[in-house]
Amino acid sequence: GESIIGRAQKNGIINVECIDIRDFTEDKHRKTDDTPFGGGMGMVMTCQPIFDCYKSVRESIPEQSKTRVIYMSPKGRIFNHDIAKELSEYDNLIFLCGHYEGVDQRLIDEYIDEEISIGDFVLTGGEMPAAIMTDAIVRLLPGAMGDETSALSDSFQDGLLEPGVYTRPADYKGWKVPEILLSGHQAKIEEWLYEESVRHTMERRPDLLEE
């Protein structure tokens, strides 16, 4: 409910619903997990509550709308700006967030369009990855950001990192803002910003330039 996602909801650009899988369990102890077949450590999220939860979510959205069902998983394609852009084109995104050792593979085989990871590390649940993806996707939607041009100049938007940014005062404790930015010469400023952008990318992420 905060920041850009909060505002995007107030402005009717998006609607976020968090659904507790446990509310769908038919188990009298509200259990949603069980021990893995074949042995091994940890617990696995069972089919029934997730299947019923998924069915109820699907029934709440129009059948013809463009929907992608994503399982948050360290085994998935690693999330990046291009995936955020791709997913911003959908009407609905359903994020299945796992816990414990993850969810029963049969659910993934039957209902998941894609597994996505937010990086090569393992978290305890999929909720934070889903929140991170939601933030990255929502800020790309038209009207979600106050100033739409700001999303356009962000890092990765054009395959380059953003140049350093500066604001007033022009001189703080003797640390000066690059003079060119104060020159008022817009064409030269643009050229300098582009060069800075390339320099930052070359120094920090040369792999982006190769792509």
Task: Return the active site residues.
Answer: 74, 101, 139, 154
Compute the least distance from the CB of residue 183 to ligand SAH, in Å. 45
Q: Out of 98, 136, 140, 201, name the contact with ligand SAH by CB under 6 A.
A: 98
Q: Which stretch binds ligand SAH (CB under 6 A): 61-69, 94-102, 105-113, 180-188?
A: 94-102
- The answer to whether residue 118 forms part of the interface with ligand SAH (CB under 6 A) is yes
Q: Out of 123, 131, 180, 208, name the contact with ligand SAH by CB under 6 A.
A: 123
Distance CA 66, CA 74 (A): 25
- The answer to whether residue 80 forms part of the interface with ligand SAH (CB under 6 A) is no
The token duo for 87 is: 């997913």
- The answer to whether residue 49 forms part of the interface with ligand SAH (CB under 6 A) is no
CA dihedral 137, 139, 141, 147 (to 10 degrees): -170
Q: What is the number of the residue whose Cβ is closest to ligand SAH?
A: 98
Closest to ligand SAH by CB, 114 vs 158, is: 114
From residue 109, give the alpha-carbon distance in Å to each of 9, 75, 106, 114, 137: 32, 14, 5, 10, 25
Q: Out of 125, 143, 164, 169, name the contact with ligand SAH by CB under 6 A.
A: 125
40: number of CA atoms within 13 Å, CB side? 10
Using an 8 Å Cβ cutoff, are 125 and 103 in contact? Answer: no
Distance CA 87, CA 90 (A): 6
Which residues would be at the binding site for ligand SAH (CB under 6 A)? 72-75, 97-99, 101-102, 117-119, 121-126, 129
